[in-house]
Structure 1
Amino acid sequence: MSTIQFLKTRFRFTFWPTVFTIPAILLTIGLGTWQVQRLAWKTALIADREAALSAPPAAIPDSGEGAQALDFHRVAGEGTFDNDKELYIGAFSTRDVEGYQVVTPFRLADGKIVLVNRGWVPEARKDPAKRPEGEIQGSTTLDGILRVPVVPKSIFSWLVPTPVNRPNENFWFYVDVPGMVAKVGLDPAQVLPFYIEAGPAKNPGGFPVGGQTRIALPNDHLQYAITWYSFAIILAAIYFIYHYRKPGPAPEGK
């Protein structure tokens, strides 16, 4: 029996199920393909970050243009911390202990200033007087990860708005270079438009705890792709089963 004959005798098309099911199958196949593309993009991004972090430290760039190519790269330079101008980002430790990440201006030898996220301190050690050993004085070497600032956004931002920094309370949800510079009274012309997250080297006294850079990215796109393609297969199977009719008994005498 030819395919056309099979369709005529075994397959019974109906209008509305076809109108709804075929576009749904095409949509799920499209979403699965999109997730495959996202998987390739995310895998390459993770590989780029890991390669950048394993490379030798570069010099701290002197402009925003130079920083774009060094996002998530190690950088190093000499300078001094302005410890009396600390800023605080609300954060939890890896053990879900409430605390803050301490951001401190760092004056480079050429006169430029860069904000440095020195790491995490618990709520009880927020006051610098309670961690005096960690308030490094004089010239020191900074080794950390360069970060280009971005305002964090969720795909559900329409439902849950992005938290707003509270400069008057010196409480921040994310690094806002212009806002932080204004808060501590620095000259914006001297401040570089990026920031650095300190590396994991232990500070005197143990605080702040550096090495807070998060390079791990969720990469669940393969599972999502499999899910969408599975939906397409299930819809196609249901559509076929619904429209397929078994052959009836042969007429008598045949």
Structure 2
Amino acid sequence: MRIGAFHFTPRLVPTVAAVAMIALLVSLGRWQVARAGEKQARQALLEARMQEPVLRLSAPIADAAPVVYRHVAAEGRYVPEGQVFIDNRLHLGRAGFHVMTPLRLASGATVLVNRGWIARDAQYPKPPAVAVPEGRVTVAGLAATPPARYLELSTQTVSGNVWQNLSFARYREHVRIDVMPFEILVAPPAPGLAAVEEQPDAGVAKHQEYALTWFSLAVTVLVLWIVVNTKRIA
């Protein structure tokens, strides 16, 4: 193909390589756009649910969808033997644990309460000692669900009461307590613990920046392909 003083002749190998690379980069960019959209949708849902009245938990709830991101309150007794520690959780740049304790309501239903974050200490990988209140307690906070996808650092995902990640199915299997499919991020946190907050909009800008990077690289590859296959007519 002749364009003015230039002759454009696409060669097979560079063309195939360029098409494959552009397809990959565009796919990565679209994935980042989708991830940003998911987080924006979660943020919109959070803001809407935050305006709803406090939901008082009494009977078992089988579906977390209508509850997640709502302010909830519950009254019952903690089950100390069901307490677990979720490892590798960061707070202000420090590694520690989320302290998860089941709360049994008067109806017999049980919900996991995220009582807060605590730093690792000298006895790590064992968790620090965190006392469980006795008697009837009332807790309040935000209903949330842990990430559906997570990274397991080893095949030993459960070591006693120290876990790599929280999965309600895993909890029911190992602890033998039928908890509801959401946790309560209690506020204020238990004494000596730091609050765990839900921030579903965190990272939206990062995904948008990554998407722009991938799309820009795709355009760069396209331009390079054109340049490589274009020669000035002597």
Which residue among 133, 136, 140 is the counterpart of 1:136?
133
Higher relative contact order (CA 8 A, sep 6+): 2
Give the conservation status (yes or no) of the 8 Å contact 2:102–2:179: no
- 2:184 — aligned with what? 197
Which residue among 175, 179, 193 is the counterpart of 2:166?
175
Deviation at 1:176, TM superposition (A): 4.3
Larger Rg: 1
- 2:69 — aligned with what? 72
Structure 2: how far apart are the matches of 1:106 and 1:218? 32
- 2:194 — aligned with what? 209
- 5+ long unaligned stretches in structure 2: 122-126
Higher helix share: 1
Pair 1:6-2:3 in alignment: yes
Give the conservation status (yes or no) of the 8 Å contact 2:84–2:99: yes
- 5+ long unaligned stretches in structure 1: 249-254
Deviation at 1:164, TM superposition (A): 0.8
Shift in CA distance, 235/143, structure 1 to aligned 2, threshold 3 Å:
same
Shift in CA distance, 56/222, structure 1 to aligned 2, threshold 3 Å:
same
- 2:226 — aligned with what? 240
Q: Which is worse superposed, 232-241 or 210-219?
A: 210-219
Higher strand share: 2
Structure 1: how far apart are the matches of 2:34 and 2:146? 26
SS in 2 for 1:175: coil
TM-score normalised by the chain length of structure 2: 0.74
Deviations along 1:171-221, one digit per CA (max 9) or x if unpaired, are: 22223446555766x6x4xx3332423333154xx3233335454542323
- 1:127 — aligned with what? 129
Shift in CA distance, 29/144, structure 1 to aligned 2, threshold 3 Å:
same
Structure 2: how far apart are the matches of 1:230 and 1:82? 54
Give the conservation status (yes or no) of the 8 Å contact 1:90–1:171: yes
SS in 2 for 1:65: coil
Using the aligned pairs only, state the percent identity.
23
- 2:157 — aligned with what? 164
TM-score normalised by the chain length of structure 1: 0.69
- The one-letter code of the counterpart of 1:136 is P
- The one-letter code of the counterpart of 2:97 is Y
Structure 1: how far apart are the matches of 2:103 and 2:223? 63
